[in-house]
Structure 1
Amino acid sequence: MIVIFAEKPDMGSKIAAALDAIHLNQGVDITFSQLETNNTLQRKAVAQRSRDLYHKITYQNEECYVIWGVGHLCSLKQAAEYDPAYKNWSKIPVPFIPKGYEIKAEKSSLKLYLNAKDFFQRADLIINATDDDREGELIFHYVYQLSETKTPFKRVILDEQTEKGFQKAFLPQNLIDAKDVRNIAMAGCARANVDALYGWNLTKDFTLKFAPYKTVYPVGRVQTAALNILVEKEREILNFKPQDYFVLNGCFTTKQGESYDGTHESKKFDTKSEAWLIFQKVNGNKGSVASVVTKDSYKDVPLLYDLLTLQGDANSLYGFSASKTQQIVQSLYDKGYSSYPRTDSRYLNNGMEKSIEAALEMLGRVPKYAGLVSGATRKVGGSRFFDSGKVTSHYAIVPTGADILKGKGMSADEEKIFELIAYSIIRMVYDPAVISKTEICTSVCGENFYTKGQSVKSKGWLAVGKVVMKEKLIPYITKGEAVDGTYRIDVKQTKPPKRYTEKTMLVAMQNAGSRFIKDIQLKKVMKDLEVQGIGRSSSRASVIERIIQVGYVERTKGILKPTALGMHIIDILPVDDIKSVDMTAKMEAKLNGIAKGTYNFDQFMKEVEEQITIWSKQIQAINFLKPSTNTSVKTTKFTCPSCGKSLKEFKWGYGCDGYKDGCRFSISKNIGGRVLRPSEIEDLLKRGETKKLNGFYSTKTKKNYSAKLVLKQENGRYEVKFSFH
C-alpha cells in the first residue's frame, strides 16, 4: 500500500483526481477538470473527504491512499509542558535548554494526526507531498517522528498544480529519495528549536526583567534584527538636521518659442552670496547651446518574478502588503493558475520553452491579453530566461497554461496579481526598448547650465503592461543656437532619509548581509554561503506582520515606522548581539548550510545553546537601574513615593536610588506604547495621577486608546495603573 501525505485537504483532493479520480461512494468518479469546475461535485468531494479523511485511488497500478494535514499537525512542546511549574515564567530555569526537544500533536488537529499515524504505520511506501521547503519538510518530519514510523518514504516536487503537472511530478523517476531531503528537514528542525529557545529564554528573561504591567516583550531571531533596521533608520531621521542650500536655474527659450530648464554646473551652493555672484553675471544675458549629446541605450526585458520582486511591484502599484501578495499568489497556485510562489529564482529551467509557449497560447485566447501576445514575433528562448544553473528549489513565478477562462475564476485582487505574472512572460517575446537620452549644455557668459532628459525611441517590451516612464521632454535643438534666458535662485533644504516601505524593507532584509554588515570578512563569508540577509523569501512578509501585530511597528499608507514601544525595546535590550543583523545573518547562513549538508546540525545546536546561555545570563546580570547603554545617569528633583529617596533618570525611565537597600520602585518612560513627557512624569509623582492622555496602543485590539495614569499602592508597593474614569 502506498500513502501520499499532502499538506492540506484541497491539495489531497487535487492529487487524487490528477493521478486517478476521486471515487465517490455512490459510484461516481470525479476527474481533475470536474473537481476544478463542477461546484456540485466539489461539494460532494469535500463532504466525503471530511468524513473519510482519505481518498482511495490506484497509483502506478497499486492501492494508494491520499491523506493530508492542515499545515502543522505537530509542534514543539511549550516550556510548561516539560514542567507545570513553568506556567509561572519566573520558575523557568535560567537558561532553559531541554535535554531533548520534545514534540506533541496539536490538539486542534489530533484527529488528522492519528489518521496519519495509522496510515503511515500500515504503508509500504509513503510519498511526502507537502511544500518542499524547510517548513514543508518539518511538517512531514514531525508527524513521521512522533508516530515512530519506520516505513520508507520519498519526496515529490510540485511546481504546478495542473493535471499534467501533478502527473509528471509523481512519475517514479521524478520522486526524490528520503536521504536527499533529510538535511532540509534538519534545517527546519534547527530553525524551530532556535525560535523556541528564543521564546523560552530571551523573551521570558527580557520580559520579566524589563516589562512592567504584565506586558510581554517578544524577542525573535529575525524579528528583533528587522525591528533594529527600522529603529536605526528612524534615529537617522530624528537626528537629521535640514540645511539650506541654493540652486541657480535658468529657463531657456528657443526661436521657435519652445523652452527648457537648465541647472548651473555647480548644482548647489552652500551660501546665497555664492549663487548671487553668478546670478548677477548671467542675469539679462542670452545663452548659446554649447553642446547637444544624444545617446540611444537599450533597456532589456526584465527578468521574471520571484516572490520578492512580485511583492515589491504589487506594493508599488496597488499598495498590497507583502503578506497579502504572498497570500494571493498562493491562492493562484492553489487554483492551478501560477507556478510555485515561494521562490527566490527569476529564471526557468532549460527545456521549459514549450511550457511557456503553451501559457502564451492560452493568454492569446484571453481578450485582455490577445493583442499583446499577437503583437510580437520573436520566439521563446534564450539564456536570459532559461538557465537551470540559476534555478534554486523552484523556478520563477509564471502562468501554468491552465485556461483561466474555464477555471474557478479569480477575485479582483487575484486578477491584479495574475496580470503582473502574465505580463512578465508576454514581455519575453518582445524586443528590448530603445531609450534616447539627451544632455544639453547651455553657455551664458562662460557659465554652463546642464539639462538632461529622455524619450522612448522604440517601446519594445514597454508596450506591455503597467510601465510608467518618467519622461522629461526636451525640444529639438542644435549646437550653436542662440536662446533667451531668465534666471532665478531657488532655496532648498536637504531632506532626511526616507522611511522604509514594505517593498524597500523586504529588499533591505534580503540585502542585509551586504548592506548592514560592516566586517569585510563576514561579508565575504555571507557571499560565499549564498545567504541573502535575514529571513527567507517565504518568511519575511510574516516577520513584518509580526512586529506590526505586537505593536513594535505601525504601517501607515504603506510606510513602516517603529512605534515608541518599538524604539523603547531596542533602546533597553541590553545585549547588542540579539538585535544584530550580523548575528542573525550568520545564523541564517548556518541554517542554509545544514539544508545543503555543509554544516552539522549537532554542532549548530551546541553553538546556539551556548550563545543563548550567555545572552540569558547577560540579561539577568543587568541591574534594572543600570543603563543598558553608555548613557549618563541624571539626578532628578523627584523623590520615591515608596521610600523617600531620590529618583534618578536613566535612558529607559526613572528608578529609586535606594535599590541597593531593596527598594524596587521605578517608572518606565514608555507605558502602553506611549513615551511619557517630563511634565507627565512630574504630574504622576507629585499629584499621583496625570490628566487623560491620548496615544496608548493595545497590542490585543490593535487600536489606540486614552487613559489616565494613576500611582497606586498595593500590597505595600507603588505601581502605575491605568484609569479610564
Structure 2
Amino acid sequence: MKVVIAEKPSVARDIAEVLDIKSKKKGYIEGRGCAITWAFGHLVTLQEPGEYDPALKRWSLETLPFVPETFKLTLIKNRGVDEQFKVIETLCQQADEIICATDAGREGELIFRYILALCNCEDKPIRRLWLNSLTPDAIQEAFKDLKDGHDYDALYAAARCRSESDWIVGLNATRYYTVRHGRIGGSGDRVLWSIGRVQTPVLAMIVERDDAILQFRPQLFWELTTRYREVVFKYTGKRFEKPEKAQVLLEKITDQPFAITGIVAKEKKEQPPQLFDLTTLQREINKLHGLSAADTLAATQNLYEKKFVTYPRTDSRYLSKDLQPRIPQILSQLKTLRPEEIAVLNLAKLPFSKRIIDDTKVSDHHAIIPTGVAPRGLSAHEQLVYEAITTQFIAAFYPVCLKNITTVNGVSNGVPFEAKGTQVVEPGWTALFANKKQAQDAAEEQTLPVFTHDETGPHEPSLREGKTSPPKHFTENSLLGAMEAAGKLVEDDSLREALKERGIGTPATRAAIIETLLSRNYIQRDKKQLRCTDMGRCLIALIRDPLLKSPEMTGEWEEKLKQIERSQLDPGEFMGGISGYIRTLIKNGTAERLDPGRWGSCPLCGKEVVKGKRAYGCSGWKDGCEFVLEPECKGIALTAKQIQVLLQQRILPQPVRIEDEPRMLILSTQGMVMDLGLPAAERQKKVEKTDRP
C-alpha cells in the first residue's frame, strides 16, 4: 500500500479528487491501493528540557547551557493531534511506500521527516511530490514526476539545523536572561524575557531606528532657487548651512537677467516590474493598502489552496524555462477578467526576457503568478492580493515605459542653476499602474516649456528655509526589506537579489517573526508604523552580547543553512558553531562584573569614556566622536557608580523615582539616557506557559 501524507486536510482532499480516491475514513481517504492522510501543519516538535531530565523543569543558571547530545521529538500538545498522529503512524507502519506531499520547501520537509521519525518509519521507501500549484493539472504532472525522497535529504538537514539551532539559542538565552534579569526593577512576578535567533536582531533593528529618531536634532538649511518662465530652477551648488552665504548669492542675482546656457534631452527606458516573490508582494500590499505581512501571507495561502495562484512561500521573482509554454494559456484564461489589458499583448510572441525566465534564479519555487483559474468567492483581502499578483503578471510582458528627461541649465550673474522635467513618450507598462504613477509624477516632476539656447529674461530668485528630516519609523514594508537584506536598506533590485542569501529569516517566517514581537509586547503598531515599546527597549539594553542582536550574524547563519541545503556545508559543522556560540554567551555573561577601574566604553564608537569637568565623554573626541553623558537625568543627579553601571551594563538594575514614579534608566543604542516604565509580567500580552519559572 502507498501512503500519501499532505500538510493539511484540504490539500489531501484535492489530491484524492485528482487521483479518484473516494473512500473517506477517520483521518484519511483510501482507494486504489493508496491511503491519503494529513497533518495539521506541524504535528511534531522538539522535546522540552524537562522531558530529557525532570530536574531541568526548574529554570536555573547552573543547568545552562543545555544542549542535548541527540534531540528527541514529541507531539505538539494541541487538540486532535494525538488522534491524527495515531492514524498516520498506523498507515505508515503498514505502507510499502510513503509519499511526502507536504509543502514543497524547508518547513514542509521538516513536517514530513519529523512525522516519519516519530513513527519509526525512516527506513521505509519514500518519494517526494513537488507541487508549485494545486490545480488538477499541476497535481497530475507532479505525480507523473515523483522524486526519490532522499534527493531532499540536504533540504531536511537544513530544516533540522534551523529547528535545532532555534531551540538551542532561543531556549538557553531565554532561560538565562529570564533567570538573571526577570526581576529587574524589583517587579513581583518574574518577567519572561523571550529571546530568539531571528526575532531578537529584528527587535534590535527597530529599537535602533526609534532611538535614532529620538536622538535626531533637525539642522536648518537654506536653498537658493529662482522661477523663470514658471519653471523652478535650483542652484547647482550645495545647500547652505548658514543664511548669510545664501543671502550674498541672492543679492548678487537680484535684478540681474537669467540666461539659458544648455539644454540636454535624454531618452530613458523604465523596464516592466519583475514578478512577485512573497516578500515583495507583502511589501507592496502593505505600502498600498496597509495590510500586515501576516494578513497578506494568509490571503495568498488561501488563494493557493483555492487554486487561483501558485505556491506563495517563494523567494524567487523568476519563472523556470519549463513553465514558458504554459504562460500564453494562463494569459488567455485571464482575458475574461482583464480583456483590455491583455488585448495589448501578442500571446504568440511574448517577450520572454531574462528578467522573467531564468532557471538559475529558481530553486524550490518560481515567482507567484495566477494559475488562470477564474477566481470566485474571494474575501476583501484575497481580492486585493489577487489583483496585485495578476496586474504584476500582466505588466511583466508589457513594453518598456519611454520617457524624455530634459535637463535645462541657466545662469544669472555667474551663479549656475538647473531644472529638470520629464515627458512620458510611451507609457508602456505604467498604464497598468496609472493611479500609483500619477501620485508619484505629481510629486516629483514638472512640465517644461520649449527653451532655446542663450535666451534671456527676468526671473524671481528666492531663498527657502528648510530643516533636515529624521529617519522614518519602520513600516512592515520597510522592515521586510531590511530583513531581506540583513539589516541593510536596499531598494535596488539587483543589489537586493545579491543580499538574499544573507537575509534574516525566510519569506515563509518573516511575517510570523513580526507577529511574535507584537505578541510579546516588544513592539506595537501605530497606524502603518512599527515602534518599539519600553519592554522592547529594556530587553535590548539588557542584552550585552552584540552577536545575539546582530542582523549580520543572523544573516550569516541563514546563508550557512542555504549552503547545507545545497550540500556545500556539513550540518555538524554548523551545529557545532551554534553550540559553541551559546556556551560562550552564557560563560561570558555569567563572568561579567563591573570594572571599578574604568568608566566604560562609548556606545557610539566603542572607545573608552573619560571624565571631563562637568560631564563624561568619549576619549575619541579628537577623531570626531560626539558622545557626551551628562551626570543628570530629568532632575536626578547620577552618582559615579550609576554612571559606571550605565556605561558598562547599559541599564541600572534598581529603579529611580522621576516625578514620583519608579522608572528604569538605560543608555540607549545612540548613547542617550532614557527612562522607561518598569518591566512587568502583566505588560506582556502573551507568554509561553511551558516550563514557566
TM-score for both structures, normalised by structure 2: 0.84
Q: CA deviation at 1:310?
A: 0.7
Distance 1:651 1:7, change over 3 A: farther
Residue of structure 2 equivalent to 1:209: 180
Out of 423, 433, 437, which is 2:401 matched to?
433
Q: Between 574-583 and 374-383, report the one with greater CA deviation.
A: 374-383
Q: Distance in 1 between matches of 2:213 and 2:499?
A: 33
Residue of structure 1 equivalent to 2:623: none
Out of 38, 49, 54, which is 1:68 matched to?
38
Residue of structure 2 equivalent to 1:190: 161
Residue of structure 2 equivalent to 1:12: 12
Number of residue pairs matched by the alignment = 622
Q: Distance in 2 between matches of 1:252 and 1:528?
A: 45
Residue of structure 2 equivalent to 1:500: 474
Give the aligned residue type for 1:170.
F
Q: 2:485, 2:499 within 8 Å by CA — same for their partners in 1?
A: no
Q: Distance in 1 between matches of 2:582 and 2:374?
A: 52
Out of 445, 452, 463, which is 2:413 matched to?
445
Out of 545, 568, 593, which is 1:598 matched to?
568
Q: CA deviation at 1:433?
A: 0.8
Q: Distance in 2 between matches of 1:100 and 1:652?
A: 40
Distance 1:16 1:607, change over 3 A: same
Out of 579, 582, 595, which is 1:609 matched to?
579
Q: 1:353, 1:380 within 8 Å by CA — same for their partners in 2?
A: no
Q: Distance in 2 between matches of 1:327 and 1:205?
A: 34
* 2:463 is the counterpart of 1:489: yes
Out of 126, 129, 133, which is 1:153 matched to?
126
* 2:656 is the counterpart of 1:680: no
Q: Distance in 2 between matches of 1:361 and 1:629?
A: 68
Q: Distance in 2 between matches of 1:636 and 1:487?
A: 48
After superposition, give the CA deviation of every residue in 1:124-181 in whole Å (9 maximum; x if it has no partner). Answer: 111100112221111111110111113210111110110111111111xx11212211
Using CA pairs below 8 Å that are at least 6 residues apart, which structure has the higher relative contact order? 2
Residue of structure 1 equivalent to 2:210: 234
* 2:347 is the counterpart of 1:371: no
Q: 1:94, 1:617 within 8 Å by CA — same for their partners in 2?
A: no
Q: CA deviation at 1:449?
A: 1.7
Give the aligned residue type for 1:10.
S
TM-score for both structures, normalised by structure 1: 0.80
* 2:196 is the counterpart of 1:220: yes
Superposed, which structure 2 residues align to 1:557-576 within 5 Å? Answer: 557-576=527-546
After superposition, give the CA deviation of every residue in 1:55-103 in whole Å (9 maximum; x if it has no partner). Answer: 1133xxxx11100000111111111222233332127612112222111
Out of 601, 612, 617, which is 1:630 matched to?
601
Give the aligned residue type for 1:298.
K
Task: Report the identity percentage.
Answer: 30
- Off by >6 Å, runs of 4+ in structure 1: 513-516, 526-530, 624-629, 631-638, 651-655, 693-697
* 2:264 is the counterpart of 1:293: yes
Q: Distance in 2 between matches of 1:493 and 1:15?
A: 61
Give the aligned residue type for 2:67.
I
Residue of structure 2 equivalent to 1:162: 135
Distance 1:13 1:527, change over 3 A: closer
Q: Distance in 2 between matches of 1:529 and 1:428?
A: 23
Q: 2:654, 2:664 within 8 Å by CA — same for their partners in 1?
A: no
The root-mean-square deviation of aligned C-alpha atoms, in Å, is 3.1
Unaligned runs of 5+ in 2: 603-608, 610-615, 617-628, 634-638, 666-676, 687-693
After superposition, give the CA deviation of every residue in 1:560-592 in whole Å (9 maximum; x if it has no partner). Answer: 222222222222212112112232222222212
* 2:389 is the counterpart of 1:421: yes
Out of 321, 327, 351, which is 2:292 matched to?
321
Is the radius of gyration larger for structure 1 or structure 2?
1
3-state SS of 1:107 partner: coil
Residue of structure 2 equivalent to 1:30: none
Q: Distance in 2 between matches of 1:192 and 1:628?
A: 41
Distance 1:431 1:80, change over 3 A: same
Q: 1:205, 1:620 within 8 Å by CA — same for their partners in 2?
A: no
Out of 245, 250, 256, which is 1:279 matched to?
250
Distance 1:651 1:490, change over 3 A: farther
Q: Distance in 2 between matches of 1:635 and 1:475?
A: 54
Q: Distance in 1 between matches of 2:427 and 2:522?
A: 45
Residue of structure 1 equivalent to 2:671: none
Q: Distance in 1 between matches of 2:447 and 2:392?
A: 31
3-state SS of 1:170 partner: helix
Q: Distance in 1 between matches of 2:489 and 2:645?
A: 29
Q: 2:482, 2:488 within 8 Å by CA — same for their partners in 1?
A: no
Q: CA deviation at 1:120?
A: 0.6
3-state SS of 1:325 partner: helix
Q: Distance in 2 between matches of 1:13 and 1:113?
A: 18
Residue of structure 2 equivalent to 1:176: 147
Q: CA deviation at 1:20?
A: 1.4
Q: CA deviation at 1:700?
A: 4.2
Give the aligned residue type for 1:574.
R
* 2:390 is the counterpart of 1:396: no
Q: Between 385-394 and 334-343, report the one with greater CA deviation.
A: 385-394
Q: CA deviation at 1:331?
A: 0.9
Give the aligned residue type for 2:548.
I
Residue of structure 2 equivalent to 1:537: 507
Q: 1:376, 1:430 within 8 Å by CA — same for their partners in 2?
A: yes
